[in-house]
Amino acid sequence: MNKKKYSDKEITIFDGVINLIKEGNNLYTIKVADIAKISDVGKGTIYDYFESKEQAISKALMYYMDKEMEISYNRIMGKESFRDKYYEILFIIKDSYRSNMFIINTILSSAGFKDFYKHLADEGCNTSYFFEDINNTIKHLLEIGKKDGIVKTDEEDYYLLMAVRGAISTFSHYIGKKEHYRSIDIEEAMDTSYKILLKSLK
């Protein structure tokens, strides 16, 4: 995980950006004045720490995702069995949507965060370590699955990794499009995702 240190003022601004997103504001239409107001700082203060609105938003998202990644990792590691760890992943996705941060998942799963603000790549701001952390978490899950006798297939590691990602994506799709599945509740969607995973690991 990224352990870059930020000043208290930067974190205050990051929190302001995240609160704007949680309130339902579109990433592309947030203004510097909006960030300054919710962060209770002057507009000039924003430019004291960031070259642009885009840089402030980008770094705020990366700061938030780093924190959430650590929290999520600890939640998953706190579970013992393969099933409990997998369901905890689904609960994390549900919580993310409930807090109105599902947009971050959308950014990461579609165009990619680096494409969102490409100029940050030159400053060393990239999301490669996020994906590495996610893959390591999935690998840990699979190791527990083998230990629990759930992973029985002799397929290659790539297949196993994609099997988990694919099963998780079915639940993510449900969470993002619940209006199209009104007859399906959260519990059934979770159980279906888990059933799909189990079948792919036999």
Q: Pick from 165, 112, 105, 169: which is nearest to 138 by CA?
A: 165
Q: How does pLDDT run across 136-169, given as a tens digit for each residue?
A: 899 999 999 999 999 999 999 999 999 999 999 9
Whether residue 99 is predicted with pLDDT greater than 70 in this model: the reply is: no
Residues of the chain with pLDDT > 90, as a percent, come to 52
Weakest mean pLDDT among 44-48, 55-59, 66-70, 122-126: 122-126
Q: How does pLDDT run across 170-192, given as a tens digit for each residue?
A: 998 998 888 999 999 999 999 99
pLDDT at 36: 95
| Residue whose token pair is 């099997």 | 163
Whether residue 116 is predicted with pLDDT greater than 60 in this model: the reply is: no
Distance CA 169, CA 200 (A): 14
Q: Pick from 93, 91, 89: which is nearest to 77 by CA?
A: 89
pLDDT at 155: 93
pLDDT at 54: 83
Query: For residue 13, which phi and psi values (nearest 5 degrees)?
Result: -70, -40
Confidence of residue 62 (pLDDT cuts 50, 70, 90): confident
Q: Is 113 exposed, middle or buried (0-12, 13-18, 19+ CB in 10 A)?
A: buried
**Torsion sign over Cα 157, 160, 164, 165:** positive
Q: How far is CA 183 from the centre of its chain?
A: 27
Q: pTM for the whole thing?
A: 0.75
